Amino acid sequence: MKRYPKDKTNGPVSISVPPALDIVNLHVSFKERRQKLSVLNGLSLTVEKGEFVAIVGPSGCGKSTLFHIIGGLLKPQDGQVLMNGKQVTGQRGHISYMPQQPALFPWRTIEDNVLLAGEIASATAFTAPVAPRAEALAEARQWLGSVGLAGFERAYPHQLSGGMQQRVAFLRALLSPQELMLLDEPFSALDALTRSDMQRWLLDIWEQNRRSVLFITHNIEEALLLADRVYVLSNRPAAVLHEVHVPFDRPRRDEITEEPAFLERKRQIAQWMKEEQQKARLS
């Protein structure tokens, strides 16, 4: 990604903007029953600022391990994690995270759950200054209203449907001060209809702020519908098999999933995944 400020003497000057996330040659292995289990094998990928990137790959290939490394919960044996050009390998507090399950605290109200990420960030030394509670609360209530949750601010998680809880979890990640959002199969537990609604909702919300997103999913159609690029990972130990650029204009239309170009990319990724499954059965 380039920006070109004007220079009065020599004309436009190219200034390189570092990616929001740059994963460089990660190698990770664990000891299991006195044997070495290799999980990541030289994995590299990038997420540019304001870009939505999806990852698909076989179950157990190491996608969650990758997220743990990006979040600073694990350190690789080799490789680097850079954010905005700075080395952050093994450091915590640089990302916002949305897990598969909403993971809302049942004793906190909906608005207090949304504010949680900001409260945690204010207690760390790794983030930018966090807005005062009154200001953060006003913003949270405004967002809750914009996503159809007006009137539920003082409700508790058990009073909301699964889809509504996922909206709260996403807003919690969205309103955290970190630029990079990691979404770990956030819709996998939802029924098909609710999942479709949440995909559309996520697209609409993301279009408003264009945060940098790395999104794990097993659903190929979901990856192509949401993302600018899709990384296809191999079996464990995971490496990048293919990088698919998604050419469809934004904002994305629901009908795009029926277009020949969309179906062809979906078929190709499915074929790559099938080949990886066959390799796993034969190994």
What average pLDDT does range 265-273 have in this prediction?
A: 95
What average pLDDT does range 139-164 have in this prediction?
A: 88
Residue 36 reports pLDDT greater than 90: no
Cα–Cα distance, 131 to 150 (Å, whole number)? 22
What average pLDDT does range 66-79 have in this prediction?
A: 92
Residue with tokens 């190709």: 268
pLDDT of residue 86: 94
CA atoms within 13 A on the CB side of 205: 21
Closest among 49, 2, 44 to 180, alpha carbons compared: 49
pLDDT of residue 125: 46
pLDDT of residue 124: 57
What average pLDDT does range 222-237 have in this prediction?
A: 94
84 alpha-carbon distance from chain centroid: 16
Digit-coded pLDDT (tens) for 44-67: 999 999 999 999 988 888 888 999
**Structure tokens of 171?**
């807003």
Domains, the chain:
17-94+180-283 (3.40.50.300), 103-177 (no CATH)
Q: Which helix (H) or strand (E) holds 232?
A: strand 229-233
Residue 12 reports pLDDT greater than 50: no
Residue 276 reports pLDDT greater than 90: no
Residue with tokens 């460089």: 24
- Measured in degrees and rounded to the nearest 5, phi and psi for residue 248 equal -75, 140
What average pLDDT does range 137-159 have in this prediction?
A: 88
Q: What is the pTM of this model?
A: 0.85
CA distances from 90 to 68, 77, 173, 260 (A): 9, 11, 20, 43
